[in-house]
A and B are shown apart, each in its own frame.
Chain A
Amino acid sequence: MKFQGTAHKYGRDIDTDVIIPARYLNTSVPEELAKHCMEDLDAGFIGKIEFGDILVAEENFGCGSSREHAPISIKAAGISVIIAKSFARIFYRNAINTGLPIMEAPDAVDGISNGDEVEVDADAGIIINKTTGQTFRAQPFPPFIKEIIEKGGLIERVKETVGGR
């Protein structure tokens, strides 16, 4: 999978309550959730996202609640991939399981500024900052997790094991 878009950069410990506030959790419709994505952190977020744009953040992205509404709202908002120094573990699982591409790449985070044009080759784990010309490598995924990503999410993998029971 290859992506290209403008980087939108945020700080550390971006929690699931600001990604999608609980007051909107009375629905699970992706388009509804997308309208409020990141609204408590950056009220203008949705207005400035172009389809395919890239979210960049420091450490511990997605900490807090287990709500899958968080990766769902980010994906539905048009974000193609998240690059962070590290992810909180439930968010990490949720992103992998639901097919939202994520990359752990501390150097890339340091080398990307808000508004830079970024190109990502998720399969090869390569991140190119087109604005500065720098290239970075993401941490590779373990084979088991790669398998889930390649199958298109956890449910696709489960289908193969229990489908037709």
Chain B
Amino acid sequence: MPRPMTITEKILAAHAGLDEVTPGQLVECDLDLVLANDVTAPIAIKEFRKVGIDSVWDPDKIALVPDHYTPNKDIKSAEQAKLMRDFAHEQKISHYYEIGCMGVEHALLPEQGVVGPGDAIIGADSHTCTYGALGAFATGVGSTDAAAGMATGKAWFKVPASIKFNIEGELGPWVSGKDLILHVIGMIGVDGALYQSMEFTGSTISGLGMDDRMTICNMAIEAGGKSGIIAVDDTTRAYLEGRAERPWTEYYSDPEAEYVAVFEIDAADIKPTVAFPHLPSNTKAAEDSRDVWIDQVVIGSCTNGRLEDLRIAASVLKGRTVYEGMRLIIIPATQQIYRDAMHEGLFDIFLDAGAAVSTPTCGPCLGGHMGILAAGERAVATTNRNFVGRMGDPTSEVYLSSPAVAAATAIAGHIALPDDLV
């Protein structure tokens, strides 16, 4: 009998060809997918060329997504995107997404059924941990790791210890997965889960849809985590139905599995939360933040640019118009989300409210383009990072929130809750 293990340990053991693994152990794992984007792929490709082989390990198990500076913002980024495109064509990479079918990678790959339960995935993007929401082990790495993965189909990992966050009860009105994860990061800090896997369990998690679950796992990295993970259930299976490209394997943590820490959280204690500059852990209840005046609101990104997020934003914006001088930028994360939102009539609500609706892109989330802040300006964003200079000038400020609070803020002009609006 192998030792009792967590989901994460079981996935790593299976991919390393071992019966069991122990936290701290260094293992080499076979990968199901290697991901890179227009910022990280150029360096990965350069490193790959140094290996001295002509072709990648498996052109069907590499995903290349031009989402950060695309549609190309300037000549330099056009060159980066071209380098990746040429490589994708040369290597016959099947999961390459050109403008027109592209989306923000961590919304796109789950939507397209490219990632699934039980997978071991590395991505040259820190928010690769998003796929933990589907019961996969997925972690962010750098370009050189991605290059090695593209060449060999393998990566080395230190088996992470796991922390359990058991959340029970019903979330209050206007409280979402985003508030839950901001609450957790505020509680444990930006290195509170350093090198560890964050496993989310409990009735609150079971009650959430996939979009909220992805928001939660997406921000595991913001607590320093190596990965976030949620066990597969009927909600996951329903999502995968007709979508998953490959058969999947479901793993569950053994009841006696070891956790370095277990946090019991009452869902009723979680309030609509805002992370103040300049750390995602710098959290405050939205109701105590009404004195912060805002110049721009961004609703989008791999954290909160999915259909459910846009529906919530629309429910707040419906029949209202943005505060005078407010810039509201809404960015559906994929073409499919864009189309669905359009068909549901959400675009009319957004446009009537005075919002700009953009084609899918990371855009302002990383301070790339499509909504950069001037010196001293403040934004509320449904994104995941509020570091110094993240969205523009180093003296600008980013406040992180849920789509509901972001939409209410766009109407009120200052940080607000939907129930504040008349």
Contact = CB atoms under 8 A, between A and B. Distances in A.
A49 to B, nearest CB: 19
B141 A90 contact: yes
Nearest to B150: A158
Interface stretch (B47-55, B111-119, B320-328): B47-55
A98 B190 CA distance: 25
Interface band, chain A: 35 or more
Interface in B163-199: 190-191, 194-195
A89 B39 contact: no
Interface string B255-287: 000000000000000000000000100000000
Interface string B123-153: 1111010000000000011111101100110
A106 interface: no
Interface in A122-165: 142, 144-145, 153-155, 158-159, 161-165
Contacts of A97: 142, 144-145, 148
Interface in A2-24: 13, 15, 17-18, 21-23
Interface in B384-411: 385, 387-390, 394
Kindly state the interface size class of chain B when it binds its partner: 35 or more
A28 B42 contact: yes
A23 to B, nearest CB: 6
Given A159-B50, A162-B151, A90 B142 contact: yes
Interface in A68-92: 68-69, 71-72, 86, 88-90
Contacts of B191: 13, 59-60, 63, 86, 88
B194 A18 contact: no
B148 A154 contact: yes
A86 B389 contact: no
A26 B142 contact: no
* Chain A CB within 10 A, most for which of B123, B195, B372, B390: B390
A22 B366 contact: yes
B95 to A, nearest CB: 19
Contacts of A64: 126, 385, 387
B347 to A, nearest CB: 28
A163 B80 contact: no
Interface in B47-99: 47, 50-53, 68-69, 73-74, 76-77, 80
A162 B142 CA distance: 20
Contact of B190 (A60, A93, A162, A165): A60
A65 interface: yes
Given A23-B367, A65-B126, A89 B51 contact: no
B226 interface: yes
A21 B389 contact: yes
11 contacts: A17-B385, A21-B394, A26-B80, A28-B80, A63-B190, A65-B385, A66-B142, A86-B194, A88-B191, A94-B144, A165-B53
Interface of A: 13, 15, 17-18, 21-23, 25-28, 39-41, 59-60, 63-69, 71-72, 86, 88-90, 93-94, 97-98, 142, 144-145, 153-155, 158-159, 161-165
